[in-house]
Homo-oligomer: A and B are copies of this chain.
Amino acid sequence: MINFTIKFQYGSPIYEQVVYAVKKAVVTGQLKPGDIFPSVREMAKELRINPNTAQKVIAHLARERIIEIKPGIGSLVSELNTATKSQRDQILNNEVEKLVVESKRLSIKREDVIDAINRNWKLDK
């Protein structure tokens, strides 16, 4: 059974979209730590993607420690992680900078960006 939702878009790789959907589902509580995660073949069948693509999703999620692989069993959703220093820097400098640059370029007010952050932070959607 698939516990998260996806609507595929053009422009970015399928495996990337699935990885993001899983991250979002974990953060919003749609997927909880300890939940059983769909297997390669099940995901491929349900989402109608190639098994190799599903395998790529599993491998990426495992490398980011979002799921834990239990050989012969499948995978389990992990607890939320704590950021390493480099991950923290990547987000609080580079990612935020990109958002700020794009906002200023389009004359979007700082307050509106902050509001959007606060609004998105309560995402039980």
Which A residues lie at the B interface, using CB under 8 A?
20, 23-24, 26-27, 66, 80-83, 87-88, 91-93, 95-108, 110, 112-114, 116-118, 120-121, 123
Contacts and interface: CB of A to CB of B under 8 A. Distances in A.
5 closest A-B pairs by CB: A83-B106, A92-B116, A100-B120, A96-B116, A27-B104
A82 to B, nearest CB: 5
A62 to B, nearest CB: 15
Contacts of A112: 92
Contacts of A102: 23, 91, 95
A92 B107 contact: no
A104 B28 CA distance: 9
A68 to B, nearest CB: 15
Nearest to A97: B120
Contacts of A110: 117-118, 121
B95 A99 contact: yes
A113 B114 CA distance: 9
A114 B96 CA distance: 9
